[in-house]
Amino acid sequence: MIPGAERRLVTVAPGVNLELFEAGAGPAVILLHGFPELAYSWRHQVGPLAAAGYRVIVPNQRGYGASSAPAPVEAYDLESLAADVAALVRWAGAGPAVVIGHDWGAPVAWHAALRYPGLVRAVGSLSVPHAARPSRPPLELMREAAGPDHIHYIDYFQQPGVAEAEFEADVRAGLLGFYWSISGDAPRDERFRPIRRGARFIDSFAPPAQLPAWLTAADLEVYVEAFTLSGFRGGLNWYRNVNRNWERSADLAGAVVRQPALFVTGSRDPARNPPAIERLRDVVPDLRVFAILEGCGHWTQQERPAEVTGAILRFLREIDARADL
């Protein structure tokens, strides 16, 4: 599915296999996707990173593509997802890896860095910055922020089966509309709208009149085919663990990510969390690469492939150059 990469199926936990795509040889770099995406979202980065001398490993995470999709909701908490990353590093067998995530892949990468510091030598994220653990359960904070007339989309996703049915009624329109609505190309009147109470999530956006330049018809078809087969339950179950993640991370309150780090986001990305970005160096003191791409939306590595690839390569070269000193 990713040109130049070899497909593998790797067991990461009892009964859990991850489909992944691997290219190149050298120090391991693991790239983690978000929702609703696939390993394919990193298609532009795999070849250049492999050519630069790295072993690039890009999994379809739990619930995506041909990877396992366990039935229990709690199988998708951050502890389980970070353990999957640790299992991939051990499977690669080449020492600690660089782990970089986008969207939901970002908190998985940051969590893996905190939980498995001996396996993660450097860490980075696109779109979603690392943030200190909040003092209260996330859903409480989201409900307060949404107010009485609206519902936060993560809160909307809490009821199993609801958002799944909306997406699966028309997979192509649902994916394309969502991709478009939080991209950097969407004009203000076509961007994702807050969900009013009693309304449907799927009504908060609509497909564009034509595909954006960064998403070809063939690209879209890869996603449509995959989600038509897998459905959306696995990916949406990640959201159903936000309070569980908070409960299980009490020991990480005040924790600091010590590894060298990278962060890249877009100026039009609704997930960029400006307050967290302002405080990023407090929780990630060794931040080596920091970039905000003007006009870029949420799908960072797809909307701005050359800039993202360049930032990652600069990061890798710097940490490896310092390691040689």
**Which residues form the catalytic set?**
103, 298
In the block, tokens 């990480």 appear at 252
Angle separating helix axes 171-181 and 217-230, nearest 10 degrees: 120
What token pair was written down for 54?
């790295």
What token pair was written down for 245?
């993640």
- Asked if residue 80 lies in contact with residue 54, where contact means CB atoms within 8 angstroms, the answer is no
- Asked if residue 32 lies in contact with residue 102, where contact means CB atoms within 8 angstroms, the answer is yes
- Asked if residue 235 lies in contact with residue 154, where contact means CB atoms within 8 angstroms, the answer is no
Phi and psi at residue 307, to the nearest 5°: -70, -40
DSSP E strand boundaries for the chain = 6-13, 16-23, 28-32, 55-59, 97-102, 120-126, 150-151, 195-196, 261-266, 287-293
